Amino acid sequence: MKMVYLILFAAFMLVSCSAKDNKKQTELPDNMALASSIHVVEAKESSAVEEAPEELSELVEEETEPPIETKTKAEEILAKMSVEEKLGQLFICAFRKDAFGSGITGISPEAIEAVEKYHIGGVVLFRENIASQKQTAEYISNLQMLSNIPLFIGVDEEGGIVRRTQSLEVPSVGSQFSIAKEGEAAVYSSAKAIAEYLTPMGFNLNFAPVADIFSNPSNTVIAQRAYGTDEKTVSSALPYAVKAYNEAGMVSVLKHFPGHGDTLEDSHYGLAFTRKALDELREMELKPFAAGIEAGAPMVMAGHICAPNITDDNEPAIFSHRLITEILRGEMGFSGIVITDAMDMGALNSYSAEESALKAFEAGVDILLMPPDYKAAYSGLLEALLSGEITSEQLDEKVLRILECKEKFMLLDNYENLD
């Protein structure tokens, strides 16, 4: 009899526990529902099991948030800039002499206004601005302290006759023409030497190397500033210079697109002309630029050079959508910064500051170098933007290229003002 009672008691307990378990299962919190359903699916036939993953994956997809897009520092800065700040990045200015004709070697009221009010993107120094290494370093440091976004600080230091540091105790570098005769290693070494004495002073942009071919003996503006008299020599040398500058963290500039070495005229005094057709340029003048671009040159300088057999007009390359956007960017695949040659040169005397700035912008140029009246040029672009003649998308595209270059060459490393 005792055995019977034990059996009945065990059966009662089994039923009671089962009921409690069922009650607990119905009271599972919401976040446990998915786990519970998995057990139910496992108890079904195989055909139902095969359908389950699709149902579960759809549920997971619905509840998964889209991935967060990460932005570069350049993109973060661009997103927080005002229109005025964006426009300022398109300008690199020079402050050469004061009202008494003396070279400016320190912060001037003009520089303060240009940087703080117009938010210019860079400054270029000339021989009259460079008295000593210590003075130059202090001057550049003070310029950078004025600017919210770090400045391009540029100089023309090709070697040979084009040097702005002749008053300093720095290595003497020969002309590109003479260096190329020594071989490609000498080209690399000379560019490296230039970068090594410029960077400690604070320079981060050098308007070199010259990509022109000295193919016309009557040409006086390029001559031995070029690496050679044929496209093969120049095309072979350029990548070594670009490599040296890139490794040193210095922005280099290929100049003067689409080629100044076969012109008779000097664009310092008037417009220069190339009478070649596009196919002829492709076989000669454009090859060194292509080699430099492939080597990673971050900037190309467009010259005040007219190509009437290509553009059907007598306007310089900096105003030519055909040359800048269609050929340099489209055909040659250049995605870096396009900068003008100095806009205070005689070649542009017949154009107003407002007109030349707008025409260069529309052609595809990113940076305006040394407009004779940068305030008028700035105002002209602002007016064109407000009227819809140019768009904010076009402006953003240019400014992003500039900021990306500054980020790549680590100019933005100390920029913290993202709020």
Integer angstrom CA distances of residue 316 from 8, 84, 277, 359: 107, 28, 15, 10
> For residue 418, what are the contacts with CB-CB under 8 A and spacing of at least 6?
76, 77, 80
From 156, 212, 262, 341, active-site residue: 341
Three-class secondary structure of residue 372 per DSSP = coil
Backbone angles phi, psi at 44, to 5 degrees: -85, 175
CB 361 within 8 A of CB 390: yes
Three-class secondary structure of residue 35 per DSSP = helix
Instruction: Dump strand ranges (E) for 239-371.
Output: 251-257, 272-273, 299-302, 305-306, 337-340, 368-369
CB 91 within 8 A of CB 121: yes
- The percent helix, strand, coil of the chain (3-state, each to 5) is 50, 10, 40
Radius of gyration of the chain from its Cα atoms, rounded to whole angstroms: 32
Number of other CB atoms surrounding residue 10 within 10 Å: 10
Backbone angles phi, psi at 69, to 5 degrees: -80, 125
| 260 is a catalytic site residue | no
| 304 is a catalytic site residue | no
> For residue 160, what are the contacts with CB-CB under 8 A and spacing of at least 6?
173, 174, 175, 176, 177, 178, 224, 225
First-to-last C-alpha distance (Å) of the chain:
86
CB 336 within 8 A of CB 401: yes
DSSP secondary structure, 163-218, as one string: -S-TTS-------HHHHHTT-HHHHHHHHHHHHHHHGGGT--EE---B------TT
From 268, 321, 373, 396, active-site residue: 268
CB 103 within 8 A of CB 96: yes
Backbone angles phi, psi at 184, to 5 degrees: -65, -35
Known catalytic residues are: 268, 341
